[in-house]
Amino acid sequence: MPPEILRCAQDKVKKTIYFAGSITGGRGDVALYREIVAALQAEGHHVLAGAVAAEHVSSSGEALDACAIFDRDLGWIAAADILVAEVSTPSTGVGYEIASARYRYKIPVLCLYRPAHTTRCTAMVAGDREIELIEYSELADLLPRLFAALAKYTAAPSGLPPR
């Protein structure tokens, strides 16, 4: 392989991304979640999304025991390099996942928010200087900005192996 092609392939390290979005708080955005997950996968990332992007899951949640869901999802967050959360629909569970990623597992968090969707984004997300908050109105507006934000974490430093 020519060196310039090899270098280009090495520049973007694919990551494992945990994608969080509302389930119990409301399922009105499930089609949007599926589109975001598909776009991340199309970029070559491994996305752990579970029930959040599954159309058959209602606001009642999965047919799994709560402890099983908790253990599985925290295991996925522990395995992830980055957490991406769509926070336009308020959700206690998503807030818990964000805090777990930030403070327990110490991984970067990117939050996606549509200002027209709710009165405001919670101050616990918007005020956290270590969370990158991307405000958007349409998916076409979001994706280039999301990919640019992810590039900060997917660029491979010269001579160092990816995580």
Which residues, including other chains, have CB under 8 Å from residue 43's CB and lie 6 or more apart? 14, 147, 150
**Average pLDDT across the chain, whole number:** 84
Predicted pLDDT at 49: 84
Residue 160 lies in a domain: no
Range of the domain at 123: 14-153
* Amino acid 157: pLDDT: 56
57 pLDDT higher than 80:
no
Say yes or no to pLDDT of 111 above 60: yes
pLDDT tens by residue, 142-160: 999 999 999 998 775 544 4
Share of the chain above pLDDT 90, in %: 61
Query: Is residue 158 one of the residues assigned to a domain?
Result: no
Task: Give the count of alpha carbons within 13 A of 112, CB side only.
Answer: 26
**Is 32 within the bounds of a domain?**
yes
What pLDDT shows up at residue 10? Answer: 45
Does any domain span residue 8?
Answer: no
Q: Is residue 36 part of a domain?
A: yes
Whether 161 is covered by a domain: the verdict is: no
Task: List the CATH number of the domain containing 61.
Answer: 3.40.50.450
Are the CB atoms for 136 and 145 separated by under 8 Å?
A: yes
Question: In this structure, is residue 100 part of a structural domain?
Answer: yes
Number of domains in the chain: 1
pLDDT of residue 138: 95
Q: What is the pLDDT of residues 87-104, one digit of tens each?
A: 999 999 999 999 999 999
Say if residue 54's pLDDT is above 60: no
Q: What is the pLDDT of residues 18-47, one digit of tens each?
A: 999 987 666 678 889 999 999 999 999 999
Q: Report if residue 1 sits inside a domain.
A: no
